[in-house]
Amino acid sequence: MVTLKKPALPLIKFILNNNEVSTSLPAGMVLLDFVRYHQHLTGTKVGCNEGDCGACTMLVGELRDNALRYRSLTSCLTPLGNVHGKHVVTIEGLNMEGLNPIQQAMFDESATQCGFCTPGFVVSLAGFCLSEKNATTQNAIAAVDGNICRCTGYKSIERAAAKVAQLMQARQNTEPVAFVSENRILPDWFSGIKQRLQILRTALNGQLHPTDAVEWVGGGTDVYVQKHDTLKDAPIRFLFDDTNLKGINQQGNRCIIGAAATVTDLAESPIMQQHFPHLADHIKLISSTPIRNIATIGGNLINASPIGDLTIFLLALDAALILRNNDQQREIPLRQLYKGYKKLDRQADEQLASVSFELPRHNTYFSFEKVSKRTNLDIASVNSACCCTLQGDHIHDIRISAGGVAPIPRLLEQTNTFLKGRSVTDTTIGQAIAIAQTEIAPISDARGTADYKRLLLAQLIKAHFMTVLQHAEH
């Protein structure tokens, strides 16, 4: 590898498997490259370099409210700076004398053929064992929803996942780390990690941000796909662990989400779960477990993709943004953020601090629709959300948003205006769809032809009303 001539780079320290490591390599280098080519641990594989195959899956453990919490992530998109002070686990860190029970399950079910994707699957399943998730087969399978296997057809992996779920059934309320180390599911040194992380954290001065930072990185799941070459050597300000940007809270009737909250944080938020009864179904349509674990809400909004799933979700909720520049801050509605394809109403030094929206009331119904070539772990052909307040059989207020049909993610303002005050009938919906067609300008691309996207949006609007009426009846 090339020796980089960079002056006094900040020292990054973390625990890699059972060893404390430190490096002065650029903090923007991705974890995968560091582990494979600098630590020479080659069990983790390079598959796609864009978070879409899971061959590079690792686990990262960190202290949250003094509890040790593990999450899977795609190490091809994770800068070293985002694992500073944490515990990184690779396939090598899961190996014990003989096979561990997760590996044994994969072995017994012949859930490995060429073997290239296999370490990723094993690591993801270990992530399930280290999580607080209920010990169901469904949850074990969900843990590997970001892992692609081209050989097995997954049925054997499903069978192995079912066995792994069984392993965890006796856990009950035991802390996962304690349970897996006591039951020899993972190496026993896992039980000492919490203490070692506490020591490491105390030793760190927390100063990772170079003063000359020109790039800002949250979870990295989009920027490292778009401009990996620029970021790998750049001075970066890391936002992912900025505690000021974390948290999902309720103030009055508003939900306030820190810009660095992850999609997983959103999915696990009791506030969100309470107000969005179908949240789990919506979230399942958005990327994969390891990506959701690191992708931030702020990143999803600021990357300005015309089909950002959470952007569409939050547009329908008429979310407002707090943009901050040192001690100055301003609030703008999300619907005014996008000025053109990848153009934002945001100054270069303004930082997205938080997103807030009014929580749906009892007669407000929310619906999220997304269709892509592959239902899960894919980018939408068209996505759309609808937040509809009914008064009797009339629409009191409605916001339908749509992605993939214009250069920017947008609210269908004219359609929404038309619908307000009307009762929901087939005729009304038909007219609304016709108006919606005048508000959009889809293009043909790898995700579908323009004609298809027009038809699809019409269908998704129909689907919204079916959902809203169905929920209203219950």
Partner 1 sequence: MKNIDAYTHVRGESIYLDDIPLIQGTLFGASFGSPMAHGTIVNLDLSEAAAMPGVVRIFTYKDITGENQIGGIVPDEPLLSDQEVHFCGMPVAFVVAESIDAARAAVKKIKATIEPLRVITDPREAQALGELIIPPRTFQLGNTNEAWSQCKHIFEGRADTNGQEHLYIETQGAYAVPQEYQAIKIYSSTQGPTAVQRAVSRVTGLPMHQVEVEVNRLGGGFGGKEDQANTWAALCALAAHLLKRPVKYSLHRMEDMAMTGKRHPYSADFRIGLNEELKIVAYEVTFYQNAGAAADLSPAVMERTLFHCTNSYFIPNVKATAYSCRTHLPPNTAFRGFGGPQGMFMIESAIAKAAETLGIEASVIQERNLLQTGDEFPYGQKAQSEAPECWHKATELYHLTDLRKETTVFNAANKWYKKGLACMPVCFGISFTKTLMNQARSLVHVYTDGSVGITTGAVEMGQGVNTKILQVAAKVFSIQPDKIKIHTTNTFKIANTSPSAASATADLNGKATLLACTAIANRLKKMVAEELSVAEDAITLQDEFVWVNGQKTDRDWKSLVMAGHIKRIGLSEHAHYATPEIHFDATKEKGHPFAYHVYGTAILGVTVDCIRGTYTVDTVKVVHDFGSSMNTAVDLGQIEGGIVQGIGWMTMEEVVYDKEGRLRSNALSTYKVPDIYSVPKEIAIDFLQTPHDNLAIFRSKAVGEPPLMYGIGAYFALRNAVRAFNNKGYFPFDAPMTPEKVLMALYATQQEGIIQPHEETSKHLAVDK
Number of residues in contact with partner 1 under rule CB under 8 A: 88
> Smaller CB distance to partner 1: residue 232 or 399?
232
* Contact range with partner 1 by CB under 8 A, out of 168-176, 259-267, 411-419, 449-457: 449-457
Q: Which of 198, 226, 363, 391 binds partner 1 (CB under 8 A)?
A: 226
- Tell me whether residue 228 or residue 324 sits nearer to partner 1 (CB atom): 228
Q: Identify the bridge partners of residue 321 per DSSP, sorted by sequence position.
A: 332, 355
Which stretch, 11-19, 20-28, 91-99, 329-337, contacts partner 1 (CB under 8 A)? 91-99
Tell me which of 358, 462, 469, 471 binds partner 1, using CB under 8 A: 462
Q: Which of 119, 176, 218, 290 binds partner 1 (CB under 8 A)?
A: 119
Residue 87's DSSP bridge partners are 15, 61
Which region, left, alpha or beta, applies to residue 377 given φ > 0 means left and ψ of -120 to 50 means alpha?
A: left
CB of 428 to partner 1, least distance (A): 17
The answer to whether 200 and 15 are in contact (CB under 8 A) is yes
CA end-to-end span of the chain:
62
In whole angstroms, the minimum distance from the beta carbon of 172 to partner 1 comes to 27
Residues numbered 9 to 38 that lie near partner 1 (CB under 8 A) are: 36
Residues 61-90 that bind partner 1 (CB under 8 A): 90
Q: What b-and-e string marks burial along 90-122, b requiring 16 or more CB atoms within 10 Å of the CB? A: bbbbbbeeeebbbbebbeebebbeeebbbbbbb
The interface mask with partner 1, positions 138-177, x = CB under 8 A, is ---x--xx-xxxxxxxxxxxx-------------------
Which of residues 215, 358, 459, 471 is near partner 1 by CB under 8 A? 459
Q: Which tokens hold the place of 275?
A: 């107000």
> Of 12, 245, 379, 433, which one interacts with partner 1 (CB under 8 A)?
379
Candidate residues 35, 73, 122, 319; the one interacting with partner 1 per rule CB under 8 A: 122
Interface with partner 1 by CB under 8 A: which range of 102-110, 182-190, 354-362, 425-433?
102-110
Residue 73 and residue 208 in contact, taking contact as beta carbons nearer than 8 Å = no
- What character string, x for contact with partner 1 (CB under 8 A) and - otherwise, covers 336-365? -----xx-----------------------
Nearer to partner 1 by Cβ, of 189 and 341: the residue is 341
Tell me the three state secondary structure of residue 350. Answer: coil
For partner 1, the closer CB: 154 or 201: 154
Q: Which of residues 289-308 bind partner 1 (CB under 8 A)?
A: 305-307
Instruction: Kindly tell me which of 203 and 466 has the beta carbon lying closer to partner 1.
Output: 466
Beta carbons of 254 and 318 less than 8 angstroms apart: no
Contact stretch for partner 1 (CB under 8 A) within 128-136, 221-229, 314-322, 427-435: 221-229
Tokens of 272: 């969100």
Choose between 52 and 265: whose C-beta lies nearer to partner 1: 52
DSSP string, 59-72: EEEEEETTEEEEEE
List of residues 6+ apart from 23 with CB closer than 8 A:
11, 12, 34, 38, 80
Q: Which two tokens stand for residue 449?
A: 């032809």
* Min CB(103)–partner 1 separation in Å: 4
Nearer to partner 1 (CB atom), residue 112 or residue 354: 112
* Residue number, 95 or 437, with CB nearest to partner 1: 95
CA 255 – CA 273 distance, rounded (Å): 12
- Cα–Cα distance, 392 to 30 (Å, whole number): 54
Q: Does 437 bind partner 1 (CB under 8 A)?
A: no
Q: Is 119 helix (H, G, I), strand (E, B) or coil?
A: helix
Cβ 389 to partner 1, closest distance in Å?
23
Q: In 240-267, which positions are buried (b, 16+ CB within 10 angstroms) versus exposed (e)? A: bbbeebbebebeeeebbbbbbbbbbbbb
Residues 146 and 143: their CA atoms lie apart, in Å, by 8
